[in-house]
Amino acid sequence: MIKELVVISGKGGTGKTSIVAALANLLNNKVLADCDVDAADLHLVLNPTLTEQEEFWSGKSASINSDKCTRCGKCLELCRYGAISKNFVIDKVACEGCGVCYYFCPAEAIDFTENMCGHMYVSTTSQGPMVHARLGIAEENSGKLVTMVRNKAREIAEEKGLDTILIDGPPGIGCPVIASITGANFVIAITEPTLSGIHDLERVAGLAKHFDIPLSVIINKSDINKEMSQHIKDKCNEMKINVLGEIPYDEAITKAQIQGLDLIRYNSASPAAEVLKNIASDIKDLLPFLKE
């Protein structure tokens, strides 16, 4: 039985990826999946060797074939995104891919083709296989891409007989996050003791509750504002959410990243590493009890 653990955070920059990298070192028999595709950083501390890549296609975009174009101006008139210039060239960044120009061009001068928006990669790392992705500029992460990464990770887990999938989830609580947690077995939310941290945690908790997936919280940099940390713990208590641990502000986290290492490899005795070791051991104890 394969268990999928997803690490998420409401806002960016809470240390999510560093925590995932440390957990990757501490958990056994796992596949890693980086679903934080807008800021895919996990590979920077895991030194992956690429073994496989696949194109990612999503949505469509229009382009004008200047040989056929009669410059009648119909597309200019119909496009609501101002994506067509007076010289009849389509601005790829402004084009939303609605296809209106394509459908209504009387000269059939517009091509409307699927968009290659990035790549998905499979790599080997010292911590096991990893699935990750990279998008082109102006492309956005989507439920589709997240699902593709997760499916690939599951395929690899089945093939290699690995029983855990550790997912670095996207920030926010939009469509990609939903796609990263639906059908998963356990969600870990990383938060910081800040005003925005509390606000985001509430929204994330609502999401996990709705999908009926067990949620635990890790408070990162907990000693930056002890009062606020206490407030988060009280809130969690109120919402019946387990706090897996409080990671103190620790320079070693940044230093490990600068060395291109996960925290445990960099310094397994640092204060944050000690807490993460306890967290990982708690997660290992929990794994057999997670429902499908």
Partner 1 sequence: MRIAIASGKGGTGKTTVATNLAFYLKHFDNTDVTLIDCDVEEPNSHIFLRPDCQEPKVITVPVPVVQEDLCTACGKCAEICQFNAIACVKEKVLIFPELCHGCGGCLLVCPTGAITEKQREIGVVENGKGKEIKLVYGRLHVGEAMSPPLIRAAKEFSPVTADEIQLIDCPPGTSCPVITAVSESDFVLLVTEPTPFGLNDLKLAVEMVRILDIPFAVGINRSTADNNIVQDYCRTEGIPVILNIPHDRRIAEAYSTGKLILESLPEYHEQFSQVLGYIKGVLS
Partner 2 sequence: MKIAISSKGNTLESATDPRFGRAQQFIIYDLDNGTHSTFNNTQNLTSSHGAGIQTAQNIINAGADLVITGNVGPNAFNVLNSAGVKIYLTSGLTVQEAIEKYKKGELENVSSNTVEGHWV
Q: How far is Cα 263 from Cα 256, in angstroms, rounded to an integer? A: 5
Please identify, using beta-carbon distances, which residue of 107 and 249 lies nearer to partner 1. 249
82-95-144 Cα angle (round to 5): 150
Identify which of 122, 192, 128 has the alpha carbon closest to the alpha carbon of residue 150: 122
In terms of Cβ atoms closer than 10 Å to its own Cβ (0-12, 13-18, 19+), residue 78 is middle
207 token code pair = 């999401």
Interface characters, 78-117, with partner 1 (x: CB under 8 A): x-xx-----------x--xxxxx--xx-------------
* Minimum distance, C-beta of residue 219 to partner 2, in the bound complex (Å): 23
Phi-psi region of 33 (alpha: psi -120 to 50; beta: other; left: phi over 0): beta
Rounded to the nearest angstrom, the gap between the alpha carbon of residue 60 and the centroid of all alpha carbons in its chain is 23
> Residue from 254, 278, 281, 284 that binds partner 1 (CB under 8 A)?
254
DSSP-derived pairing of the beta strands 215-220 and 242-247: parallel
| The one among 1, 26, 46, 59 contacting partner 1 by CB under 8 A | 59
Considering the complex, state which of residue 48 and residue 176 has its C-beta at the smaller distance from partner 2.
176
Among 59, 214, 248, 271, contact with partner 2 (rule: CB under 8 A): 59
CB 279 → partner 2: shortest distance, Å? 26
To partner 2, the closest distance from the beta carbon of 179 in angstroms equals 6
Give CA–CA dist 167/149, Å, rounded.
Answer: 10
Site string for partner 2, 80-119 (x = CB under 8 A): ----------------------------------x-----
CB of 142 to partner 2, least distance (A): 3
